[in-house]
């Protein structure tokens, strides 16, 4: 929609990190998969007066936003500023199906949706690099010092490898299924990042070994994804999980879902996202196996679970 009608929409989707979270903060690569079934929609409309937000049936001023959704305010600010609009005379309504602080990129998706809605409202243009920078500015409120992985992955259409700020699409050699199980425990990404930093500072030798291991497993995962080798990809995920737990981002509720997924026949299972709660990701080689894992995690107290099919890529990318 355009500014003429006074209303504009923007949307973005969730993401799951297959492997490489936390080590990506130290400049190593990470692999993320778009989760297009979970979406956030922002709607900007013209209103006179100070900027306001419509969230969960309430209308809030910018300084009334609860801390957990403060990045929405920052996303609106940076976007309005980018288009030379005043920080006033708009109502921004938000509808999101992405659980917040669950490791699924909820805050980056909100930022993308708001920025896109404001862009359309203003009738302006943004390059991908400008869009990325605006999302990162909003994400800094949520994360402190985000790697940029979430900002990239919540707009990606295919599995991607993110490395040192650059992104490329990945080949997938065979269909596979990811089952995301939500512990319902809400952690803060910046706290989790600080925890890992604390470990690395306190144990520099072991910390470096674990980060290198995560980088190696990510490289391995890229090859196995391209080869469609689910059987060997699973153990890479398991080893990454153990490293993340040793780095300090485990949780009892995660242990429970990991155990249930393993008992339910997962090919591999790990924390996905920041950890200290949030979601786990289990790998399956068929839709039926994925459904069984989803059921097993629900039985083990997951508050929600989602099955994501990773489709094979066609043509030259697939090796």
Q: What's the min distance (Å) between Cβ of 51 and ligand PMV?
A: 26
Q: What's the min distance (Å) between Cβ of 192 and ligand PMV?
A: 6
Q: Of 29, 99, 103, 264, which one interacts with ligand PMV (CB under 6 A)? A: 103
Q: Of 105, 264, 268, 277, which one interacts with ligand PMV (CB under 6 A)? A: 105
| β-strands 166-169, 160-163 pairing | antiparallel
Q: What's the min distance (Å) between Cβ of 142 and ligand PMV?
A: 8
- How open is the CA angle 151-56-302, to the nearest 5 degrees? 70
Taking alpha carbons only, the member of 14, 83, 53, 24 closest to residue 211 is 24
Q: Under the criterion CB under 6 A, does residue 21 sit at the interface with ligand PMV? A: yes
Q: What's the min distance (Å) between Cβ of 244 and ligand PMV?
A: 9
Whose CB is nearest to ligand PMV? Answer: 273
What are the structure tokens assigned to 317, written together? 């990318």
Largest separation between any pair of C-alpha atoms in the chain? 60
The CA distances from residue 113 to 43, 67, 93, 214, 258, in Å, are: 8, 19, 11, 31, 32
Binding mask 185-224 for ligand PMV (x = CB under 6 A): ----x--xx-------------------------------
Q: What's the min distance (Å) between Cβ of 306 and ligand PMV?
A: 14
Set 150, 182, 238, 285: catalytic member: 150
Q: Under the criterion CB under 6 A, does residue 147 sit at the interface with ligand PMV? A: yes
Q: Of 8, 18, 25, 281, which one interacts with ligand PMV (CB under 6 A)? A: 25
Tell me the number of residues near ligand PMV by CB under 6 A.
Answer: 17
CB 18 within 8 A of CB 33: yes
Q: Of 42, 274, 276, 283, which one interacts with ligand PMV (CB under 6 A)? A: 274
Q: Which is nearer to ligand PMV, 103 or 248 (CB)?
A: 103
Gap between the Cα atoms of 137 and 115, Å rounded = 11
Q: Is 150 a catalytic residue?
A: yes
Give the interface segment with ligand PMV, choosing from 15-23, 62-70, 89-97, 213-221 (CB under 6 A): 15-23
Taking the mean position of all CA atoms in its chain, how far away is CA 222? 18
Q: Which is nearer to ligand PMV, 19 or 283 (CB)?
A: 19
Gap between the Cα atoms of 308 and 197, Å rounded = 31
Give the interface segment with ligand PMV, choosing from 16-24, 115-123, 217-225, 233-241 (CB under 6 A): 16-24
Q: What's the min distance (Å) between Cβ of 149 and ligand PMV?
A: 4
Instruction: Scan residues 149-178 and list those touching ligand PMV (CB under 6 A).
Output: 149-150
Q: By the criterion CB under 6 A, which residues form the site for ligand PMV?
A: 17, 21-22, 24-25, 103, 105, 143, 146-147, 149-150, 189, 192-193, 273-274
**Active-site residue list:** 150
């Amino acid at each position: 929609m355009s500014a003429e009608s006074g209303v504009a929409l923007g949307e973005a989707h969730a993401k799951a990190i297959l492997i490489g979270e936390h080590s990506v903060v130290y400049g190593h690569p990470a692999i993320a998969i778009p989760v297009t079934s979970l979406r956030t929609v922002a709607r900007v409309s013209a209103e006179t007066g100070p900027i306001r937000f419509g969230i969960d049936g309430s209308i809030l001023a910018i300084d009334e936003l609860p801390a957990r959704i403060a990045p929405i305010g920052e996303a609106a600010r940076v976007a309005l500023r980018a288009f030379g609009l005043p920080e006033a005379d708009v109502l921004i309504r938000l509808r999101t199906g992405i659980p917040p602080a669950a490791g699924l990129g909820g805050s980056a998706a909100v930022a993308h949706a708001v920025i896109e809605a404001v862009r359309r409202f203003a009738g302006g243009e943004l390059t991908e690099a400008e869009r990325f920078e605006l999302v990162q500015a909003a994400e800094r409120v949520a994360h402190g010092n985000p790697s940029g992985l979430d900002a990239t992955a919540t707009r990606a259409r295919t599995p991607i490898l993110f490395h040192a700020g650059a992104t490329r699409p990945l080949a997938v050699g065979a269909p596979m299924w990811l089952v995301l199980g939500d512990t319902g425990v809400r952690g803060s990404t910046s706290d989790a990042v600080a925890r890992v930093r604390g470990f690395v500072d306190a144990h520099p030798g072991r910390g470096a070994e674990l980060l290198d291991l995560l980088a190696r497993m990510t490289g391995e995962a890229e090859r196995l994804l391209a080869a469609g080798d689910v059987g060997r990809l699973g153990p890479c995920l398991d080893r990454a999980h153990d490293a993340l737990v040793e780095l300090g981002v485990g949780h009892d509720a995660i242990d429970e879902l990991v155990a249930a997924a393993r008992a339910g026949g997962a090919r591999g299972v790990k924390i996905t996202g920041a950890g200290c709660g949030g979601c786990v990701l289990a790998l399956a080689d068929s839709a039926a196996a994925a459904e069984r894992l989803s059921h097993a995690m629900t039985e083990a107290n997951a508050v929600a679970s989602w099955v994501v099919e990773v489709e094979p890529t066609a043509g030259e990318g697939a090796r």
